[in-house]
Amino acid sequence: MRENMKYKKLEEPLLYDGSPIEPFWAFKEHKVKGSSMVAWIGPMNIKPAELIDYEDVGLEIKSGQMMHFIVEHFDRQPADIKTCYHRQRILVMIVKDILGELGINTSRDGDDLYFKGKKLSVSIATCSNSSMKIHFGMNVRDKGTPDDVETIGLLECSKTLDDEKINGLIDKICENYINEIESIEEDITKTKVF
């Protein structure tokens, strides 16, 4: 019943080109089998063919350095995008919460985080019949982002952040998200239904 999600942090600065949102990417590319959360730091430049958000068609989705999170869930069969978007919101709210504890007070609009009106993150959720996928990317440095959007990176939001703390932040986000999903599963097993 427990999701028993696996967490893997990649050491290489992998380019996020959109392909990691495909089902089974974690297993096919990184031998991570089952529900999982894979995270790493790297640039982003989404290939048009990999676009998931029909509202983004024709836009540049790129950044020079982001922390990336790829979540995959197999606990609901068939998988559905509605559940997945609920989890995406939970993930973004967890990130906002952790940033707040670091003194970085962001505002949230759906699945986007902003710092002083500047865009800090991108996110999408999708699914196939058998798994649910989430990508969440957050700028580490404000470089390489599209010219027509005001963006910011985490290192510009707080002077006390450094590369080591960025690393700890990635771990903390994954730990809290995984614990949250597990605690939901736990609660189901103690609750009367009608």
* Residue 35 binds its own copies (CB under 8 A): yes
Q: Which is nearer to its own copies, 140 or 181 (CB)?
A: 181
Write the interaction track for its own copies spanning residues 54-73; mark x where CB under 8 A is met and - where it is not. xx-x---------------x
Site for its own copies contains 110 (CB under 8 A): yes
The type of residue at 135 is H
Cβ contact 61:46 at 8 Å: yes
DSSP 139-186: EEES-S--TTS-B--HHHH-SS--HHHHHHHHHHHHHHHHHHHHHHHH
Report the site for its own copies in 120-159 (rule: CB under 8 A): 124-130
Residue from the set 8, 89, 141, 172 that interacts with its own copies by CB under 8 A: 89
- Rounded to whole angstroms, the Cα distance separating 18 from 120 reads 18
Rounded Cα–Cα distance for residues 155 and 67 (Å): 12
Binding of its own copies by 51 (CB under 8 A): yes
Give all strands of the β-sheet with 121-127 in edge-to-edge order.
6-9, 36-45, 62-73, 132-141, 121-127
Q: Does 1 bind its own copies (CB under 8 A)?
A: yes
Contacting residues toward its own copies, per CB under 8 A: 1-5, 22-24, 27-28, 33-35, 51-55, 57, 73-83, 85-87, 89-90, 93-94, 96-97, 100, 108, 110-111, 124-130, 180, 183-194
